[in-house]
Amino acid sequence: MAKPNAIVAQSGGPTTVINSSICGVIQEANRSNKIGKVMAAHNGILGVLKEDLFDASAEKPAVIEALKRTPSAAMGSCRYKLKSIDQAKADFDRVLDVFKAHDIRYFFYAGGNDSMDTADKVNKLAAQRGYELVCIGIPKTIDNDLAYTDHCPGFGSVAKFVATCTMEAGRDTDALYTHDTCTIMEVMGRNAGWIAAATGLAARNEDEAPHLIYMPESAFTWEKVIADVKEVYSRLKKVFIIVGEGLKDKKGKYVTADTGVFAKDSFGHVQLGGVADMLKVVIEKEVNIKARTQKLGTNQRASMHFASLTDVEEAYMCGKEALRAAMNGINGKMITLVREESTRYICSTGLADLKDVANGEKKVPKEYINAQGNHITESCRKYIIPLIKGEAPVTIGQDGLPVYVRLAMKHVEKKLADYL
């Protein structure tokens, strides 16, 4: 009898290290004798719905290994969200139809809480229908906002990159403060301020950038920002500010200057951007100092050229442990990262229910934010520092640039009628 197949997919915003998790799944599957083929869904759950699958087992081992040093989601990702089972019955039926058609009995889904929600719902529907299926989630989000895990693969690398960029851009402001007095850097983080918090590591003393950090967790008022900026400017003659993209005013409304046409994404989230530009206008007017803005954008979540080795290795571990958990009869769980109680940093893995993770959200706790609500505390530094440690040098090509791989994506023949 043929061994059952597995499917692996990535979803949501890519990260620097999500491919390392996928590498862990595939390499561990190749070591197992219970799995037939590992198939990959092209562009996450969209690829499942469209039966757009490729044979990950057919990829060259060297290419799979090189995924550990290739940023973004090599199998493609999506932001397509399956609704509740009742509302989107057709979608869920289709997922199971595709799984059945290709004898897929293991589903590994790397993503954030939306993805864990999808995995949980697919799992429950399979159980209802009596289709034998094992669903395991792999944590992935630069936002570091998943509950039930100490931290998330992807966060360590974005933290290292944004802190380094803050340090470097801060040196620029140090040099040219007589002209470019205020620099405002906008970082990602829709509801949680973890990425903004990470930039705080760059300030090895209180004179160094960033001088002010505004996170979604702290109440935001223009009066407070203006007073803060004036205080720093009077002390240092320069001001370096970090703002999280998800800054909200007292009424819970996003502070944004975005004028885009596509104001909401497909989950109904408000599409963010432009909060730094908003601050620039207000600071120039109210404090009368010249301000410049910058936004690292998707480079925050793709900076493999300066990734955290800890992050790369932990992402791999999560992928590998997802496969092992499935082989050990675990189902409906996400792999978590567990920080051991120790004088030195030791991290192992644990398990959490997909449903719990889907409904949870971990914001930056109060004890990590200073009393003024505009910087981080020492305990926050202690939490983040181990996660950014270690260098993970990339291979450099003849043209002086990093060498990243692409999958061959040998397509699996379709067995069903078109859908979507």
Catalytic residue IDs = 143
25 binds a copy of itself (CB under 8 A): no
Distance linking the first and last C-alpha atoms of the chain:
33
How far apart CA 74 and CA 18 sit, in angstroms, is 9
Binding-site member from 124, 306, 324, 356 for a copy of itself (CB under 8 A): 306
Is residue 390 involved in binding a copy of itself (CB under 8 A)?
A: yes
Q: Which of 86, 204, 219, 329 binds a copy of itself (CB under 8 A)?
A: 204
Binding to a copy of itself by residue 57, rule CB under 8 A?
no
Coil, helix or strand for 411? strand
Closest distance between a copy of itself and the C-beta of residue 253, in Å?
20
CA–CA dist 408, 420 (Å, integer): 24
- Measured from the CB atom, the residue of 204 and 250 that comes closer to a copy of itself is 204
Does the footprint of a copy of itself cover residue 388 (CB under 8 A)? yes
Q: What mask, x for binding a copy of itself by CB under 8 A, covers residues 331 to 360?
A: ------------------------------
CA–CA distance, 206 with 204 (Å, rounded to integer): 7
* Amino acid (1-letter code) at residue 393: P
305 binds a copy of itself (CB under 8 A): yes
Residue 308 in the binding site for a copy of itself (CB under 8 A):
yes
Half-sphere exposure of 165 (CA within 13 A, CB side): 27
Beta bridge partners of 242: 185, 213
Are 216 and 244 in contact, with CB atoms under 8 Å apart? yes
Selected binder of a copy of itself within 21, 173, 336, 349 (CB under 8 A)? 173
Order of strands, sheet of 104-111, starting from the edge strand that comes earlier in the sequence: 53-55, 38-41, 5-10, 104-111, 134-139, 333-339, 347-353
For position 10 contacting a copy of itself by CB under 8 A, the verdict is yes
Task: State yes or no: residue 381 binds a copy of itself (CB under 8 A).
Answer: yes
Interaction of residue 303 with a copy of itself, rule CB under 8 A: yes
- Helices within 237-366 (DSSP H only): 275-286, 309-327, 354-359
Residue 70 in the binding site for a copy of itself (CB under 8 A): yes
Asked if 243 and 295 count as a contact pair (C-beta separation under 8 A), the reply is no
Residue from 3, 389, 410, 411 touching a copy of itself (CB under 8 A): that is 389
Q: Is 163 or 351 the residue whose CB approaches a copy of itself more closely? A: 163
